[in-house]
Structure 1
Amino acid sequence: MFDSSFYNAGFTISGINDFLPFLQSIPKNKYPNLLIIGLDQWMFNENWDSLEGSKEPTYWGRSFQSNPGSKTFFSVYKDLKNGKYGVLESVKRFDKNAQVYHVGLHSVINNTGIRRDGSLQYGKQIDKLLKSDTTANDYRYKDTFKRIKTGRRKFQYGNRLNPKALVYLETLLSYCKENEIYVVGILPPFSIKVNEKMKQTGKYRYLEEIFPASQECFKKYNFELWDMTNLKKFGSTDEETIDGFHGGELCYSKILIHLINNQSKIKQYVEVERLKTDVRNRANDYIIFNY
Structure 2
Amino acid sequence: YKRQGVAGSGKSSLIRGHLPAVRPDVVMLDQSPVRGSRRSSPATFTGMLDPIRTLFARTTGAPAALFSPNSSGACPACQGAGVIFTDLAFMDGVTTMCEVCRGRRFKDEAQQYLVHGRSIADVFEMSVAEALEFFTEKAIRTVLRRLSDVGLDYLTLGQTLTTLSGGERQQLKLASELAVGGRFYVLDEPTTGLHLADVEHLIALLHRLVDDGNTLVVIEHNLDVVAAADWVVDLGPGAGHDGGRVVFEGTPAALTTDGSTHTGAYLVRYLSG
TM-score (norm 1): 0.24
- Which structure has the higher relative contact order (CA within 8 Å, separation 6+)? 2
Give the number of the structure whose residues are more often strand, by fraction.
Answer: 2
TM-score (norm 2): 0.25
